[in-house]
């Protein structure tokens, strides 16, 4: 993906005067392309890693979300001479401006990248049983699939010329290669907030997936994934959030701290059937013996230590009251969390169970149960 001027420059191209006819003259549009990615990190990296940390996802997930990075190398297009050439995808709305203004343009570019990456991952992973997800992530050039789909919603074709050139140099360049080599792609809001454009892009992606992998997935699923992904990624890409994510090291920390992270995880859970990673906390894991089974005496510190302390104090009233207060405090701390993790929920269950046994005076029962977990 490259940077372009808002209004493409126009030059007149003249052929040399021939003996048998007039001078051939035509007008051509061109843009000077730049590479803002070389200066900045990519938001889609952070989103991909954050998704993998929150969900039990297969290898290849990060590749599926970040494959759009390769747009900077453009796509391949067959020429009349049966050869392939490099064709640029150029995001509309950029300006030939000083470096301190490129940051905001890069934000739009990353919004487009991350939306396409997240949506294509979600759509292919939802239909993983068909084999499309595996084929997509093992494709050495998956960016050609999404790149070709984006050309179907392009506004027009122009000439893209790397580096700064004046009109005279551009005219010479275009004269040597008269066919336009760049597609102008609409800005993210125009693309994803327009129902007609979303449907058009979803249809193009469906066709390109079939062309590349011979597997059809429903256009409705692709369209929904595009709209929902844009809705979520847009929250990461507002000016303040984008700045924090880009400055975080690593960038997934900035994503995981953002409120929209939980929306991202819920979307992937609900739409694709992905499961959250559930880890038993270290404090409640037993050590495995030679037979591979957990030994009862090595369960946690939190609950078993409390029960053994009560036993040493002959289950005195003050000791029991203190244990109840301690457990209630631990429970309250978890229930007051805005977004409890699966680990928090696991602990919560243990504390409630221990509290129930202690209130009912079932101390030996509690010790037996917790040693056997």
What does the block give as tokens for 309? 């302390």
Strand partners, 33: 162
**Statement: residue 2 has pLDDT above 60:** no
The confidence band for 4, taking pLDDT boundaries of 50, 70 and 90, is: low
According to DSSP, the residues that pair with 65 across neighbouring strands are none
Instruction: State how far the Cα of 197 lies from the Cα of 215, in Å rounded to an integer.
Output: 23
Predicted local distance difference test score (pLDDT) of residue 368: 76
pLDDT tens digit sequence for 132-165? 999 999 999 899 999 999 999 999 899 888 777 8
pLDDT digits (tens, 9 = 90+) for 194-229: 999 999 999 999 999 999 999 999 999 999 999 999
Indicate the pTM of the whole model: 0.73
Chain-wide mean pLDDT for the chain? 84
Q: Among the listed ranges 52-61, 182-191, 244-253, 360-369, which one has the minimum average pLDDT value? A: 360-369
User: Which residue, among 138, 145, 1, has the nearest Cα to 73 in the 3D structure?
Assistant: 1
- pLDDT score for 264: 96
pLDDT band at residue 288, thresholds of 50, 70 and 90? very low
Quick check: 341 pLDDT over 70?
yes
Arithmetic mean of pLDDT, 85-107: 73
Encode pLDDT of 57-71 as tens digits.
Answer: 998 999 999 998 765
With a CB cutoff of 8 Å and minimum separation 6, the contacts of 290 are none
Task: Identify the band that residue 18 occupies on the pLDDT scale cut at 50, 70 and 90.
Answer: low
Beta strands in 67-118 (DSSP E): 75-78, 84-91
Q: pLDDT tens, 303-333?
A: 888 888 888 888 888 889 999 999 999 899 9
pLDDT of residue 64: 93
């Amino acid at each position: 993906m490259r940077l372009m001027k808002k209004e493409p420059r126009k030059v007149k191209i003249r052929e040399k005067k021939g003996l048998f006819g007039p001078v051939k003259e035509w007008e051509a549009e061109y843009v000077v392309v730049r590479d803002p990615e070389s200066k900045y990190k990519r938001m889609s990296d952070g989103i991909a890693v954050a998704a993998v940390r929150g969900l039990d996802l297969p290898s290849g997930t990060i590749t599926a979300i970040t494959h759009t990075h390769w747009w900077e190398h453009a796509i391949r297009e067959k020429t009349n001479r049966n050869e392939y050439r490099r064709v640029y995808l150029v995001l509309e709305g950029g300006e030939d401006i000083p470096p301190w203004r490129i940051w905001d343009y890069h934000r739009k570019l990353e919004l487009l990248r991350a939306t396409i990456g997240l949506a294509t991952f979600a759509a292919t992973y939802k239909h993983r049983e068909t084999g499309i997800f595996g084929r997509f992530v093992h494709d050495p050039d998956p960016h050609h699939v999404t790149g070709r789909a984006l050309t179907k919603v392009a506004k027009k074709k122009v000439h893209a010329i790397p580096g700064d050139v004046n009109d005279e140099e551009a005219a010479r360049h275009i004269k040597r290669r008269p066919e336009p080599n760049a597609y102008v792609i609409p800005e993210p809001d125009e693309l994803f907030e327009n129902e007609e454009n979303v449907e058009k892009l979803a249809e193009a992606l469906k066709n390109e997936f079939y062309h590349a992998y011979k597997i059809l997935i429903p256009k409705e699923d692709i369209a929904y994934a595009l709209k929902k992904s844009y809705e979520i990624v847009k929250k990461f890409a507002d000016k303040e959030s984008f700045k924090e994510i880009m400055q975080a090291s690593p960038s997934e920390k900035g994503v995981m701290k953002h409120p929209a992270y939980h929306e991202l995880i819920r979307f992937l859970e609900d739409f694709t059937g992905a499961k959250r990673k559930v880890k038993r906390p270290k404090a409640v894991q037993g050590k495995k013996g030679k037979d591979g089974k957990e030994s009862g005496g090595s369960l946690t510190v939190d609950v078993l230590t409390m029960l053994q302390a009560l036993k040493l104090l002959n289950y005195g009233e003050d000791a029991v009251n203190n244990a109840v207060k301690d457990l209630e405090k631990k429970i309250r701390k978890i229930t007051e969390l805005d977004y409890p993790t699966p680990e928090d929920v696991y602990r919560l269950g243990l504390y409630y169970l221990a509290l129930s046994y202690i209130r009912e005076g079932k101390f030996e029962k509690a010790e037996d149960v917790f040693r056997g977990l």
